[in-house]
């Protein structure tokens, strides 16, 4: 780690690591951060009131890391915002505690963002730490149903599409080099979301105000275990907490970010998706979590109204230029065969067909 190495003219970079009970990950994550080449001037750990040995580990192994200890665990959104505000520098490498960055991560991402002042975020490709030959997240597009149409999701790395620096609509917050000033000016991460849909929401606000987001395809970050109790990769049962956040945060994103005319013309597709999502939640035994999510959505109406007014006044790009009709991304562990597979394909086709009709009328 060096504050004097060249950084494509960006100047020094701050690294912000968000942590909650990440003692199992932090040694590898912070060791990789300390091995970064390029102009890395400081490392900040934002801790969400961890109850494990996280902070003791950092004090013992990484005494140069500045710790910002938050009093409660309100999720990664407030923690990321707090880390950006505390950083000394405009450019921040924001990284989750379960990510392991390659030594040249900062240099490659810095070279990409230096090419255009409109770029607000550059992300690496993340691959599974347990299977580095397979892509986990590589950004995506804005599906009008209020989802991310993910690129290269679970694709073998050798067959993943895209080379060099690729424009994206939506970044995925595993590791991101961000223009702290641009993100905070756009409102930062929505702190009412806790987790899930927060990167979609922020990316949409940036893109709708004319900023660019890119992925540097030869910059690789290993992604480890995810957030316990919320992340889902495999297993017989989808987490109830994830159903709650999906139920609340998807509607939060739609209500805040889409123009009213878009909501009207997209309504049939949104309703079809919501019926399917509710059915899935019931079959998983999480109908109560779905309903709690909707109640929480309505409880935040006042806060959301102010955020909507601020965003809609600032935006310059219409929804119809940002939103797409597909593909509908499904986690491989939830993909089915036979009749269920046919239903999944039918849902994707219905949503795509409706957006083909509705898109010219969107706001």
Residues 301 and 215 in one domain: no
Residues 217 and 253 in one domain: no
Question: What average pLDDT does this structure show over 98-125?
Answer: 97
d(C-alpha 318, C-alpha 305), whole Å: 19
Adjacent-strand bridge partners of 44: 16, 66
Q: What percent of the chain has pLDDT over 90?
A: 85
Residues 26 and 79 in one domain: yes
Residue 1 lies in a domain: no
Residues 199 and 83 in one domain: yes
Expressed as residue numbers, the domain containing 117 is: 13-223
Residues 257 and 353 in one domain: yes
pLDDT of amino acid 333 = 53
Number of domains in the chain: 2
d(C-alpha 22, C-alpha 76), whole Å: 13
Residue 345 lies in a domain: yes
Strands, E, within the chain: which ranges? 13-19, 40-48, 66-70, 91-96, 99-101, 119-128, 131-137, 140-143, 147-150, 165-168, 175-179, 212-223, 323-324
Any residues with CB less than 8 A from the CB of 129 and at least 6 apart, and which?
100, 222, 223, 224
Residue 265 lies in a domain: yes
At which of 223, 250, 271 does a domain end?
223
Check if the beta carbon of residue 40 is closer than 8 Å to that of residue 106: yes
Residues 113 and 261 in one domain: no
pLDDT per residue over 40-80, tens digit each? 999 999 999 999 999 999 999 999 999 999 999 999 999 99
Query: Which range has the worst mean pLDDT, 146-155, 164-173, 327-336?
Result: 327-336
Any residues with CB less than 8 A from the CB of 186 and at least 6 apart, and which?
120, 202, 205, 206, 209, 211, 314
Residues 145 and 246 in one domain: no
d(C-alpha 185, C-alpha 88), whole Å: 16
- The vertex-284 CA angle with 287 and 201, nearest 5°, equals 70
Residues 211 and 293 in one domain: no
Residue 229 lies in a domain: no
pLDDT of amino acid 4 = 46
Residues 123 and 21 in one domain: yes
Residue 353 lies in a domain: yes
Residues 156 and 244 in one domain: no
Residues 258 and 204 in one domain: no
Residues 246 and 182 in one domain: no
pLDDT of amino acid 304 = 94
Q: Could you write out the DSSP letters of every residue in 22-73?
A: -HHHHHHHHHHHHT--SBEEEEEEEEE---SSHHHHHHHH-TTSEEEEESS-
Check if the beta carbon of residue 246 is closer than 8 Å to that of residue 277: yes
Query: Which range has the worst mean pLDDT, 95-104, 222-231, 275-284?
Result: 222-231
């Amino acid at each position: 780690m060096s504050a004097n190495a060249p950084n494509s003219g960006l100047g020094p970079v701050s690294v912000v690591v968000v942590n909650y009970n990440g003692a199992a990950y932090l040694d590898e994550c912070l060791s990789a951060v300390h091995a970064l080449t390029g102009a890395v001037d400081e490392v900040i750990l934002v801790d969400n009131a961890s109850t494990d040995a996280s902070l003791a580990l950092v004090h013992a192994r990484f005494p140069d890391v500045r710790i910002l200890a938050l009093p409660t665990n309100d999720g990664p959104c407030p923690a990321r915002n707090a880390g950006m505000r505390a950083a000394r520098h405009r450019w921040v490498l924001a990284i989750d505690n379960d990510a392991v960055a390659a030594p040249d991560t900062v240099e490659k991402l810095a070279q990409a963002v230096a090419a255009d002042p409109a770029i607000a975020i550059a992300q690496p490709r993340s691959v599974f730490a347990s299977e580095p030959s397979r892509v986990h997240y590589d950004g995506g597009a804005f599906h009008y149903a209020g989802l991310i149409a993910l690129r290269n999701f679970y694709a073998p790395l050798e067959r993943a599409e895209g080379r060099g620096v690729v424009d994206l609509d939506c970044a995925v917050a595993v590791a991101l080099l961000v223009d702290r000033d641009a993100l905070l000016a756009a409102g930062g991460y929505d702190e009412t979301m806790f987790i899930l849909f927060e990167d979609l929401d922020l990316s949409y606000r940036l893109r709708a105000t004319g900023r660019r987001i890119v992925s540097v395809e030869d910059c690789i970050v290993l992604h480890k275990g995810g957030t316990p109790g919320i992340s889902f990769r495999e297993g017989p049962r989808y987490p109830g907490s994830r159903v709650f956040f999906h139920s609340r945060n998807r509607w939060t994103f739609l209500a805040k970010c889409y123009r009213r005319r878009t909501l009207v013309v997209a309504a049939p597709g949104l309703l079809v998706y919501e019926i399917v999502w509710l059915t899935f939640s019931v079959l998983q035994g999480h109908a109560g979590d779905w309903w709690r999510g909707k109640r929480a959505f309505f409880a935040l109406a006042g806060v959301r109204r102010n955020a909507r007014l601020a965003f809609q006044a600032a935006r310059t790009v219409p929804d119809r230029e940002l939103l797409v009709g597909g593909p509908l991304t499904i986690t491989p562990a939830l993909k089915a065969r036979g009749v269920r597979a046919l239903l999944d394909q039918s849902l994707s086709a219905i949503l795509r067909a409706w957006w083909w009709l509705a898109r010219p009328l969107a706001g």
